[in-house]
Chain A
Amino acid sequence: MTTMRQAFVKTVNEEIDNDPRIAVVTAVISSNEFPQENERVVDVGIREQTMVGVAGGLALAGLRPVVHSYAPFLVERPYEQIKLDIGHQDVGAVFVSIGASYDDPVWGRTHQSPGDVALFDTLPGWTVHVPGHADEVTPLLKEALMGDNRVYVRLSLHENSQAYPVGEGFTALRHGKRGVVLAVGPMLDRVLKAVDAENADVTVLYAATVRPFDSDGLVKAVSATDHADVMVVEPYLEGTSAHLISDALQLFPHRVRCIGVKRHAELRNYGTAEDHDAAHDLDVVGLGSAVRSFFRG
Protein backbone atom coordinates (compact mmCIF):
# COMPACT_ATOMS: atom_id res chain seq x y z
CA MET A 1 0.00 0.00 0.00
CA THR A 2 1.31 3.43 -0.97
CA THR A 3 1.55 5.93 1.85
CA MET A 4 0.80 9.63 1.48
CA ARG A 5 4.49 10.38 1.83
CA GLN A 6 5.38 7.92 -0.91
CA ALA A 7 2.75 9.46 -3.18
CA PHE A 8 4.22 12.90 -2.48
CA VAL A 9 7.77 11.81 -3.27
CA LYS A 10 6.73 9.99 -6.44
CA THR A 11 4.71 12.93 -7.71
CA VAL A 12 7.43 15.50 -7.07
CA ASN A 13 10.13 13.31 -8.62
CA GLU A 14 8.01 12.89 -11.73
CA GLU A 15 7.10 16.53 -12.00
CA ILE A 16 10.57 17.91 -11.36
CA ASP A 17 11.67 16.34 -14.64
CA ASN A 18 8.75 17.91 -16.49
CA ASP A 19 8.70 21.39 -15.00
CA PRO A 20 11.95 23.40 -14.81
CA ARG A 21 10.34 25.74 -12.29
CA ILE A 22 10.13 23.12 -9.56
CA ALA A 23 12.79 23.09 -6.85
CA VAL A 24 12.84 21.00 -3.69
CA VAL A 25 14.19 22.41 -0.44
CA THR A 26 14.66 20.14 2.55
CA ALA A 27 16.39 20.17 5.93
CA VAL A 28 17.72 16.60 5.94
CA ILE A 29 14.34 14.94 6.52
CA SER A 30 13.37 12.96 3.38
CA SER A 31 16.22 14.53 1.41
CA ASN A 32 17.45 11.14 0.25
CA GLU A 33 14.12 10.62 -1.51
CA PHE A 34 14.94 13.29 -4.09
CA PRO A 35 17.63 13.30 -6.80
CA GLN A 36 20.56 15.01 -5.14
CA GLU A 37 22.37 15.38 -8.46
CA ASN A 38 19.64 17.75 -9.63
CA GLU A 39 20.68 21.35 -8.92
CA ARG A 40 17.05 22.12 -8.13
CA VAL A 41 17.16 19.79 -5.15
CA VAL A 42 18.64 21.60 -2.18
CA ASP A 43 19.28 20.11 1.25
CA VAL A 44 20.32 22.88 3.64
CA GLY A 45 21.10 20.57 6.53
CA ILE A 46 19.28 20.89 9.83
CA ARG A 47 18.56 24.57 9.29
CA GLU A 48 14.83 25.14 9.02
CA GLN A 49 14.91 28.94 9.08
CA THR A 50 17.25 28.94 6.12
CA MET A 51 15.23 26.21 4.44
CA VAL A 52 12.29 28.60 4.24
CA GLY A 53 14.44 31.66 3.50
CA VAL A 54 16.15 29.89 0.61
CA ALA A 55 12.74 28.82 -0.67
CA GLY A 56 11.62 32.45 -0.60
CA GLY A 57 14.69 33.47 -2.55
CA LEU A 58 14.17 30.73 -5.11
CA ALA A 59 10.59 31.90 -5.56
CA LEU A 60 11.78 35.47 -6.03
CA ALA A 61 14.07 34.13 -8.76
CA GLY A 62 11.13 32.54 -10.55
CA LEU A 63 11.20 28.99 -9.25
CA ARG A 64 8.40 26.99 -7.64
CA PRO A 65 9.85 25.72 -4.36
CA VAL A 66 8.54 22.62 -2.64
CA VAL A 67 9.50 22.86 1.02
CA HIS A 68 9.31 19.71 3.07
CA SER A 69 9.94 18.53 6.61
CA TYR A 70 8.29 17.10 9.67
CA ALA A 71 5.33 19.31 10.59
CA PRO A 72 6.71 21.06 13.70
CA PHE A 73 10.00 21.80 11.94
CA LEU A 74 8.30 22.96 8.76
CA VAL A 75 5.66 25.19 10.33
CA GLU A 76 6.33 26.03 13.95
CA ARG A 77 10.08 26.55 14.11
CA PRO A 78 10.38 28.78 11.00
CA TYR A 79 6.98 30.42 11.41
CA GLU A 80 8.32 33.96 11.02
CA GLN A 81 10.15 32.93 7.87
CA ILE A 82 6.87 31.60 6.46
CA LYS A 83 5.19 34.87 7.36
CA LEU A 84 7.90 37.13 5.98
CA ASP A 85 10.08 35.23 3.50
CA ILE A 86 7.10 33.78 1.67
CA GLY A 87 3.93 35.72 2.50
CA HIS A 88 5.30 39.23 2.99
CA GLN A 89 7.46 38.88 -0.13
CA ASP A 90 4.23 38.01 -1.95
CA VAL A 91 5.67 34.86 -3.48
CA GLY A 92 4.33 31.33 -3.66
CA ALA A 93 5.57 27.96 -2.48
CA VAL A 94 4.29 24.49 -1.76
CA PHE A 95 4.85 23.35 1.82
CA VAL A 96 4.41 19.63 2.46
CA SER A 97 4.58 18.19 5.96
CA ILE A 98 4.60 14.73 7.43
CA GLY A 99 3.92 13.80 11.04
CA ALA A 100 0.56 15.52 11.39
CA SER A 101 -0.71 16.09 14.94
CA TYR A 102 0.80 12.97 16.50
CA ASP A 103 1.55 10.34 13.89
CA ASP A 104 4.47 9.04 15.96
CA PRO A 105 3.71 9.85 19.59
CA VAL A 106 6.59 7.74 20.89
CA TRP A 107 8.76 10.76 20.01
CA GLY A 108 6.85 13.00 22.36
CA ARG A 109 5.62 16.56 22.18
CA THR A 110 8.59 17.85 20.18
CA HIS A 111 7.38 15.91 17.15
CA GLN A 112 3.71 16.79 17.39
CA SER A 113 2.10 19.64 15.55
CA PRO A 114 -1.63 19.93 16.19
CA GLY A 115 -1.44 23.72 15.75
CA ASP A 116 -0.03 23.83 12.20
CA VAL A 117 -3.25 24.64 10.36
CA ALA A 118 -4.19 27.21 13.00
CA LEU A 119 -0.82 28.89 12.42
CA PHE A 120 -1.36 29.02 8.68
CA ASP A 121 -4.78 30.48 9.44
CA THR A 122 -3.07 33.57 10.86
CA LEU A 123 -1.52 34.26 7.45
CA PRO A 124 -3.44 35.43 4.38
CA GLY A 125 -3.53 33.65 1.06
CA TRP A 126 -2.72 30.06 1.97
CA THR A 127 -4.52 27.09 0.48
CA VAL A 128 -4.54 24.17 2.91
CA HIS A 129 -5.01 20.57 1.83
CA VAL A 130 -5.56 17.76 4.33
CA PRO A 131 -5.85 14.64 2.18
CA GLY A 132 -7.52 11.62 3.68
CA HIS A 133 -5.96 9.02 1.39
CA ALA A 134 -2.71 8.56 -0.53
CA ASP A 135 -4.59 8.62 -3.84
CA GLU A 136 -5.81 12.11 -3.04
CA VAL A 137 -2.27 13.41 -2.67
CA THR A 138 -1.16 13.31 -6.29
CA PRO A 139 -4.00 15.36 -7.85
CA LEU A 140 -3.83 17.93 -5.06
CA LEU A 141 -0.07 18.17 -5.39
CA LYS A 142 -0.02 18.36 -9.18
CA GLU A 143 -2.41 21.27 -9.10
CA ALA A 144 -0.31 22.97 -6.45
CA LEU A 145 2.90 22.51 -8.42
CA MET A 146 1.39 24.10 -11.51
CA GLY A 147 0.29 27.22 -9.65
CA ASP A 148 2.02 30.26 -8.22
CA ASN A 149 0.14 30.47 -4.95
CA ARG A 150 0.94 29.50 -1.38
CA VAL A 151 -0.10 25.95 -0.54
CA TYR A 152 0.23 23.78 2.54
CA VAL A 153 -0.27 20.02 2.17
CA ARG A 154 -0.61 18.13 5.44
CA LEU A 155 0.23 14.46 5.08
CA SER A 156 -0.42 11.77 7.65
CA LEU A 157 0.29 8.10 8.24
CA HIS A 158 -3.38 7.66 9.01
CA GLU A 159 -5.87 7.56 6.20
CA ASN A 160 -9.32 6.48 5.15
CA SER A 161 -10.11 3.15 3.50
CA GLN A 162 -10.83 4.80 0.18
CA ALA A 163 -10.07 7.99 -1.68
CA TYR A 164 -12.65 10.53 -2.77
CA PRO A 165 -12.54 12.98 -5.67
CA VAL A 166 -10.68 16.11 -4.65
CA GLY A 167 -11.17 19.62 -5.81
CA GLU A 168 -12.68 22.79 -4.54
CA GLY A 169 -15.59 22.41 -2.21
CA PHE A 170 -16.89 19.87 0.26
CA THR A 171 -18.27 16.53 -0.92
CA ALA A 172 -21.58 15.34 0.51
CA LEU A 173 -21.38 11.62 1.28
CA ARG A 174 -24.55 11.25 3.33
CA HIS A 175 -27.72 13.27 3.44
CA GLY A 176 -29.81 13.69 6.58
CA LYS A 177 -32.17 16.12 8.29
CA ARG A 178 -30.86 16.41 11.84
CA GLY A 179 -27.75 18.44 11.04
CA VAL A 180 -24.37 18.38 9.34
CA VAL A 181 -21.08 16.74 10.21
CA LEU A 182 -18.00 18.05 8.41
CA ALA A 183 -15.19 15.48 8.43
CA VAL A 184 -11.71 16.65 7.49
CA GLY A 185 -9.17 14.37 5.80
CA PRO A 186 -8.30 11.22 7.76
CA MET A 187 -11.22 11.76 10.15
CA LEU A 188 -13.77 10.58 7.60
CA ASP A 189 -13.86 6.81 8.16
CA ARG A 190 -14.31 7.09 11.89
CA VAL A 191 -16.92 9.83 11.48
CA LEU A 192 -18.95 7.58 9.18
CA LYS A 193 -18.63 4.68 11.62
CA ALA A 194 -19.72 6.86 14.51
CA VAL A 195 -22.69 8.28 12.59
CA ASP A 196 -23.74 4.77 11.53
CA ALA A 197 -23.30 3.40 15.05
CA GLU A 198 -25.53 6.14 16.42
CA ASN A 199 -27.98 5.82 13.51
CA ALA A 200 -27.78 9.59 13.22
CA ASP A 201 -29.85 11.21 10.48
CA VAL A 202 -27.20 13.72 9.48
CA THR A 203 -25.51 15.00 6.35
CA VAL A 204 -21.82 14.11 6.23
CA LEU A 205 -19.53 16.41 4.28
CA TYR A 206 -15.97 15.48 3.43
CA ALA A 207 -13.17 18.01 3.07
CA ALA A 208 -9.67 17.34 1.76
CA THR A 209 -9.23 21.06 1.20
CA VAL A 210 -10.03 23.26 4.17
CA ARG A 211 -8.64 26.59 2.96
CA PRO A 212 -10.28 28.18 1.16
CA PHE A 213 -13.21 27.09 3.28
CA ASP A 214 -16.26 26.06 1.28
CA SER A 215 -18.73 28.34 3.02
CA ASP A 216 -21.27 28.04 0.21
CA GLY A 217 -21.12 24.26 0.40
CA LEU A 218 -21.71 24.33 4.13
CA VAL A 219 -24.62 26.75 3.85
CA LYS A 220 -26.16 24.63 1.11
CA ALA A 221 -25.88 21.51 3.23
CA VAL A 222 -27.26 23.23 6.33
CA SER A 223 -30.14 24.71 4.34
CA ALA A 224 -31.26 21.21 3.35
CA THR A 225 -31.55 20.07 6.96
CA ASP A 226 -34.19 20.76 9.60
CA HIS A 227 -31.62 22.02 12.14
CA ALA A 228 -28.69 24.36 11.63
CA ASP A 229 -26.50 22.19 13.84
CA VAL A 230 -22.96 21.67 12.60
CA MET A 231 -20.29 19.39 13.99
CA VAL A 232 -16.80 19.75 12.56
CA VAL A 233 -14.25 17.00 13.14
CA GLU A 234 -10.68 18.07 12.38
CA PRO A 235 -7.47 16.05 12.87
CA TYR A 236 -5.69 19.09 14.34
CA LEU A 237 -6.40 21.67 17.02
CA GLU A 238 -10.07 21.72 18.01
CA GLY A 239 -11.93 24.78 16.81
CA THR A 240 -9.44 25.68 14.08
CA SER A 241 -12.27 26.24 11.60
CA ALA A 242 -14.82 27.59 14.10
CA HIS A 243 -14.51 31.19 12.95
CA LEU A 244 -15.17 30.22 9.34
CA ILE A 245 -18.22 28.17 10.25
CA SER A 246 -19.50 31.08 12.31
CA ASP A 247 -18.96 33.45 9.39
CA ALA A 248 -20.66 31.09 6.95
CA LEU A 249 -23.72 30.66 9.16
CA GLN A 250 -24.01 34.24 10.41
CA LEU A 251 -27.51 34.60 8.97
CA PHE A 252 -28.74 31.39 10.63
CA PRO A 253 -29.46 30.80 14.29
CA HIS A 254 -27.11 27.82 14.64
CA ARG A 255 -25.19 25.55 16.96
CA VAL A 256 -21.59 24.43 16.39
CA ARG A 257 -19.60 21.66 18.03
CA CYS A 258 -15.87 21.64 17.27
CA ILE A 259 -13.95 18.43 17.72
CA GLY A 260 -10.23 18.03 17.29
CA VAL A 261 -7.03 17.74 19.29
CA LYS A 262 -7.87 19.18 22.69
CA ARG A 263 -6.35 22.48 23.72
CA HIS A 264 -6.69 22.39 27.47
CA ALA A 265 -3.52 20.54 28.41
CA GLU A 266 -0.31 19.19 26.96
CA LEU A 267 -0.62 15.44 26.75
CA ARG A 268 2.69 13.99 27.93
CA ASN A 269 1.91 10.35 27.25
CA TYR A 270 3.74 8.39 24.55
CA GLY A 271 1.95 5.27 23.28
CA THR A 272 0.30 5.01 19.88
CA ALA A 273 -1.64 7.38 17.67
CA GLU A 274 -4.71 5.32 18.54
CA ASP A 275 -4.05 5.97 22.24
CA HIS A 276 -3.93 9.70 21.52
CA ASP A 277 -7.08 9.54 19.40
CA ALA A 278 -8.87 7.99 22.35
CA ALA A 279 -7.50 10.60 24.75
CA HIS A 280 -8.79 13.38 22.50
CA ASP A 281 -12.14 11.63 21.88
CA LEU A 282 -11.18 11.33 18.22
CA ASP A 283 -11.79 7.59 18.06
CA VAL A 284 -15.09 6.03 17.01
CA VAL A 285 -16.23 5.75 20.64
CA GLY A 286 -15.52 9.39 21.40
CA LEU A 287 -17.02 10.63 18.17
CA GLY A 288 -20.09 8.47 18.67
CA SER A 289 -20.60 9.98 22.09
CA ALA A 290 -20.27 13.48 20.63
CA VAL A 291 -22.73 12.72 17.83
CA ARG A 292 -25.21 11.26 20.31
CA SER A 293 -25.14 14.22 22.66
CA PHE A 294 -24.97 17.00 20.07
CA PHE A 295 -27.69 15.74 17.77
CA ARG A 296 -30.03 14.64 20.57
CA GLY A 297 -33.70 15.36 20.06
Chain B
Amino acid sequence: MTGDEKHEWAAASTIDVLWVLYDRVLNVTPATVDDPDRDRFLLSKGHGPMAYYAVLAEKGFIEESTLDEWTSWDSPLGQHPDRVLVKGVEISSGSLGHGLPIAVGTALGQRIHGSPGRTFVLVGDGELDEGSNHEAIAVAARLNVANLTAIVIDNQSAMYGWPGGIAQRFAVEGWSTAEVDGRDHEAVFAALTAPHDRPHVVVAKIEKSY
Protein backbone atom coordinates (compact mmCIF):
# COMPACT_ATOMS: atom_id res chain seq x y z
CA MET B 1 0.00 0.00 0.00
CA THR B 2 1.39 3.41 -0.91
CA GLY B 3 1.18 6.48 1.24
CA ASP B 4 -1.50 7.96 -1.00
CA GLU B 5 -3.64 4.84 -0.73
CA LYS B 6 -3.38 5.08 3.04
CA HIS B 7 -4.59 8.66 2.89
CA GLU B 8 -7.42 7.67 0.59
CA TRP B 9 -8.48 5.08 3.13
CA ALA B 10 -8.28 7.67 5.86
CA ALA B 11 -10.57 9.94 3.85
CA ALA B 12 -12.99 7.11 3.20
CA SER B 13 -13.10 6.45 6.94
CA THR B 14 -14.01 9.99 7.93
CA ILE B 15 -16.37 11.08 5.15
CA ASP B 16 -19.64 10.08 6.81
CA VAL B 17 -18.88 11.67 10.17
CA LEU B 18 -17.62 14.84 8.50
CA TRP B 19 -20.78 15.12 6.45
CA VAL B 20 -23.06 14.70 9.45
CA LEU B 21 -21.04 17.26 11.38
CA TYR B 22 -21.18 19.96 8.74
CA ASP B 23 -24.66 19.13 7.48
CA ARG B 24 -26.51 18.78 10.75
CA VAL B 25 -24.43 19.50 13.85
CA LEU B 26 -21.96 22.37 13.62
CA ASN B 27 -23.17 25.90 14.12
CA VAL B 28 -20.83 27.44 11.58
CA THR B 29 -21.22 28.64 8.02
CA PRO B 30 -18.91 30.35 5.55
CA ALA B 31 -20.35 33.63 6.80
CA THR B 32 -19.55 32.91 10.45
CA VAL B 33 -16.04 31.47 10.29
CA ASP B 34 -14.77 34.42 12.33
CA ASP B 35 -17.68 34.57 14.77
CA PRO B 36 -16.22 33.96 18.24
CA ASP B 37 -19.41 32.11 19.20
CA ARG B 38 -19.25 29.63 16.32
CA ASP B 39 -18.78 25.94 16.85
CA ARG B 40 -15.25 24.85 16.06
CA PHE B 41 -14.28 21.64 14.32
CA LEU B 42 -10.66 20.53 14.60
CA LEU B 43 -9.46 17.82 12.24
CA SER B 44 -6.65 16.42 14.36
CA LYS B 45 -6.16 13.47 12.07
CA GLY B 46 -4.99 15.64 9.22
CA HIS B 47 -4.22 12.64 7.08
CA GLY B 48 -6.50 12.06 4.14
CA PRO B 49 -8.12 15.50 4.07
CA MET B 50 -9.81 14.87 0.73
CA ALA B 51 -13.06 14.08 2.53
CA TYR B 52 -12.71 17.24 4.62
CA TYR B 53 -12.09 19.40 1.56
CA ALA B 54 -15.01 17.82 -0.28
CA VAL B 55 -17.37 18.60 2.59
CA LEU B 56 -16.01 22.14 2.93
CA ALA B 57 -16.56 22.64 -0.80
CA GLU B 58 -20.09 21.26 -0.70
CA LYS B 59 -20.93 23.58 2.17
CA GLY B 60 -19.44 26.62 0.47
CA PHE B 61 -16.35 27.19 2.62
CA ILE B 62 -14.05 26.71 -0.37
CA GLU B 63 -14.56 26.86 -4.11
CA GLU B 64 -15.20 23.48 -5.65
CA SER B 65 -12.80 24.35 -8.45
CA THR B 66 -9.91 24.40 -5.97
CA LEU B 67 -10.28 20.65 -5.47
CA ASP B 68 -8.88 19.84 -8.91
CA GLU B 69 -5.57 21.56 -8.25
CA TRP B 70 -4.96 20.29 -4.75
CA THR B 71 -1.36 19.80 -3.63
CA SER B 72 -0.09 21.94 -6.52
CA TRP B 73 2.21 24.90 -5.83
CA ASP B 74 -0.49 27.55 -5.83
CA SER B 75 -3.19 25.47 -4.19
CA PRO B 76 -4.30 26.20 -0.61
CA LEU B 77 -5.17 22.52 -0.27
CA GLY B 78 -2.40 20.16 0.74
CA GLN B 79 -2.19 16.60 1.94
CA HIS B 80 -2.49 18.11 5.39
CA PRO B 81 -4.75 21.13 5.98
CA ASP B 82 -3.40 24.58 6.78
CA ARG B 83 -5.65 26.98 8.66
CA VAL B 84 -3.74 29.98 7.38
CA LEU B 85 -4.46 29.00 3.78
CA VAL B 86 -8.06 27.81 4.06
CA LYS B 87 -10.80 29.94 5.57
CA GLY B 88 -12.87 27.81 7.88
CA VAL B 89 -10.13 25.31 8.71
CA GLU B 90 -9.66 25.74 12.44
CA ILE B 91 -6.25 24.12 12.88
CA SER B 92 -3.29 23.18 10.76
CA SER B 93 -2.74 19.48 11.29
CA GLY B 94 -0.78 16.52 10.00
CA SER B 95 1.51 15.49 12.82
CA LEU B 96 -0.60 13.23 14.99
CA GLY B 97 -1.51 13.87 18.60
CA HIS B 98 -1.87 17.64 18.49
CA GLY B 99 -5.56 18.27 17.90
CA LEU B 100 -7.01 16.96 21.12
CA PRO B 101 -4.78 19.05 23.45
CA ILE B 102 -5.49 22.11 21.30
CA ALA B 103 -9.20 21.32 21.41
CA VAL B 104 -9.11 21.27 25.20
CA GLY B 105 -7.67 24.78 25.00
CA THR B 106 -10.22 26.10 22.49
CA ALA B 107 -13.11 24.63 24.46
CA LEU B 108 -11.71 26.09 27.63
CA GLY B 109 -11.32 29.44 25.89
CA GLN B 110 -14.95 29.32 24.76
CA ARG B 111 -16.00 28.62 28.33
CA ILE B 112 -13.87 31.45 29.69
CA HIS B 113 -15.53 33.83 27.23
CA GLY B 114 -18.97 32.57 28.23
CA SER B 115 -19.52 31.56 24.62
CA PRO B 116 -22.23 29.09 23.59
CA GLY B 117 -19.77 27.70 21.06
CA ARG B 118 -18.71 24.09 21.21
CA THR B 119 -15.50 22.36 20.13
CA PHE B 120 -15.48 19.10 18.18
CA VAL B 121 -12.23 17.31 17.43
CA LEU B 122 -11.73 14.27 15.21
CA VAL B 123 -8.92 11.82 15.96
CA GLY B 124 -8.08 8.38 14.63
CA ASP B 125 -7.76 5.24 16.70
CA GLY B 126 -4.19 4.89 15.45
CA GLU B 127 -3.53 8.48 16.39
CA LEU B 128 -4.52 7.67 19.95
CA ASP B 129 -1.18 5.85 20.21
CA GLU B 130 0.39 9.28 20.66
CA GLY B 131 0.83 9.93 24.37
CA SER B 132 -0.17 13.56 24.12
CA ASN B 133 -3.77 12.43 23.59
CA HIS B 134 -3.81 10.66 26.90
CA GLU B 135 -2.53 13.76 28.66
CA ALA B 136 -5.40 15.68 27.09
CA ILE B 137 -8.04 13.04 27.83
CA ALA B 138 -7.16 13.30 31.51
CA VAL B 139 -6.94 17.09 31.58
CA ALA B 140 -10.26 17.57 29.75
CA ALA B 141 -11.99 15.48 32.39
CA ARG B 142 -10.23 17.09 35.33
CA LEU B 143 -11.17 20.55 34.04
CA ASN B 144 -14.61 19.24 33.07
CA VAL B 145 -14.52 20.85 29.65
CA ALA B 146 -18.12 19.88 28.93
CA ASN B 147 -18.36 21.79 25.64
CA LEU B 148 -15.80 19.44 24.11
CA THR B 149 -16.71 16.45 21.97
CA ALA B 150 -14.06 14.12 20.61
CA ILE B 151 -14.84 11.81 17.72
CA VAL B 152 -12.61 8.77 17.35
CA ILE B 153 -12.70 7.17 13.94
CA ASP B 154 -12.02 3.56 14.83
CA ASN B 155 -10.86 1.82 11.69
CA GLN B 156 -8.65 -0.52 13.70
CA SER B 157 -5.42 1.23 12.85
CA ALA B 158 -3.90 1.29 16.33
CA MET B 159 -0.82 -0.90 16.40
CA TYR B 160 -1.80 -2.86 19.48
CA GLY B 161 -5.48 -1.96 19.84
CA TRP B 162 -7.08 -0.72 23.05
CA PRO B 163 -7.81 -3.38 25.68
CA GLY B 164 -11.33 -2.89 26.96
CA GLY B 165 -12.18 -0.71 23.99
CA ILE B 166 -11.49 2.89 23.10
CA ALA B 167 -14.57 4.26 24.86
CA GLN B 168 -13.42 2.69 28.11
CA ARG B 169 -10.13 4.59 27.89
CA PHE B 170 -12.10 7.85 27.94
CA ALA B 171 -14.74 6.64 30.41
CA VAL B 172 -12.17 5.77 33.05
CA GLU B 173 -11.13 9.42 33.06
CA GLY B 174 -14.72 10.60 33.43
CA TRP B 175 -15.89 11.29 29.87
CA SER B 176 -19.37 10.39 28.70
CA THR B 177 -19.17 7.97 25.81
CA ALA B 178 -21.07 6.66 22.81
CA GLU B 179 -20.16 3.98 20.30
CA VAL B 180 -21.79 4.01 16.89
CA ASP B 181 -21.54 2.62 13.41
CA GLY B 182 -19.52 5.32 11.67
CA ARG B 183 -21.52 4.81 8.45
CA ASP B 184 -24.92 5.22 10.11
CA HIS B 185 -25.73 8.90 9.77
CA GLU B 186 -28.69 8.87 12.15
CA ALA B 187 -26.68 7.09 14.83
CA VAL B 188 -23.74 9.45 14.37
CA PHE B 189 -26.05 12.47 14.57
CA ALA B 190 -27.74 11.18 17.73
CA ALA B 191 -24.39 10.51 19.40
CA LEU B 192 -22.95 13.90 18.46
CA THR B 193 -25.98 15.76 19.77
CA ALA B 194 -26.58 13.75 22.92
CA PRO B 195 -26.71 16.06 25.96
CA HIS B 196 -23.64 15.83 28.19
CA ASP B 197 -22.42 17.66 31.26
CA ARG B 198 -18.81 16.54 30.86
CA PRO B 199 -16.49 15.98 27.91
CA HIS B 200 -18.02 13.57 25.46
CA VAL B 201 -16.49 11.04 23.09
CA VAL B 202 -18.13 9.37 20.13
CA VAL B 203 -16.32 6.29 18.90
CA ALA B 204 -17.33 5.82 15.26
CA LYS B 205 -16.50 2.32 14.11
CA ILE B 206 -15.54 1.82 10.51
CA GLU B 207 -15.05 -1.60 8.98
CA LYS B 208 -11.43 -2.19 8.11
CA SER B 209 -11.33 -2.66 4.35
CA TYR B 210 -7.70 -3.07 3.35
Contact = CB atoms under 8 A, between A and B. Distances in A.
Interface of A: 23, 39-40, 42, 44-45, 47, 49-50, 52-63, 65, 80-81, 84-85, 88-90
Given A50-B104, A58-B112, 18 more contacts: A23-B112, A40-B112, A42-B108, A44-B135, A49-B131, A53-B104, A53-B105, A53-B136, A56-B101, A60-B105, A60-B109, A61-B110, A65-B105, A80-B95, A80-B98, A84-B95, A84-B98, A85-B102
A57 B109 contact: yes
Contacts of B87: none
Nearest to A55: B105
Interface stretch (B51-59, B68-76, B137-145): B137-145
Given A42-B108, A61-B109, A53 B102 contact: yes
B98 A57 contact: no
Contact of A57 (B84, B105, B113): B105
B90 interface: yes
Given A53-B98, A53-B132, A60 B90 contact: yes
Interface of B is mostly: helix
Given A63-B112, A89-B83, A90-B83, A49 B135 contact: yes
* 3 cross-chain pairs, A with B, having the tightest CB-CB distances, nearest first: A57-B105, A61-B109, A53-B101
Given A44-B139, A49-B132, A50-B139, A58 B108 contact: yes
Nearest to B95: A84
Interface string B53-95: 0000000000000000000000000000001100000111001
Contact of B107 (A23, A57, A59): A57
B92 A54 contact: no
Contacts of B113: 61-62
A129 to B, nearest CB: 24
B112 A39 contact: yes
B106 A61 contact: yes
Contact of B135 (A23, A47, A80): A47
A39 B113 CA distance: 10
Contacts of B142: 45
Nearest to A39: B112
A89 B101 CA distance: 13
B103 interface: yes
Interface of B: 36, 40, 83-84, 90-92, 95, 97-98, 100-113, 131-132, 135-136, 138-139, 142-143
Contact of A61 (B100, B105, B132, B143): B105
A57 B104 contact: yes
Contact of B101 (A54, A59, A63): A54
Contacts, number: 102
B172 to A, nearest CB: 16
A58 B105 CA distance: 5
Given A57-B101, A61-B113, A84-B92, A50 B108 contact: no
A282 B84 CA distance: 43
A62 B109 contact: yes
A103 B51 CA distance: 51
B102 A45 contact: no
Contact of B106 (A23, A58, A88, A90): A58
Contacts of B138: 45, 47
Contacts of B104: 50, 53-54, 57
Contacts of A55: 105
A175 to B, nearest CB: 45
6 contacts: A47-B136, A53-B104, A60-B90, A61-B105, A85-B101, A89-B91
A89 B112 contact: no
B20 to A, nearest CB: 24
Nearest to A44: B139
Nearest to B97: A49
Contacts of B111: 39
Contacts of B95: 80, 84
Nearest to A47: B135
Contacts of A61: 36, 105-106, 108-110, 112-113
Contacts of A50: 101, 104, 132, 135-136, 139
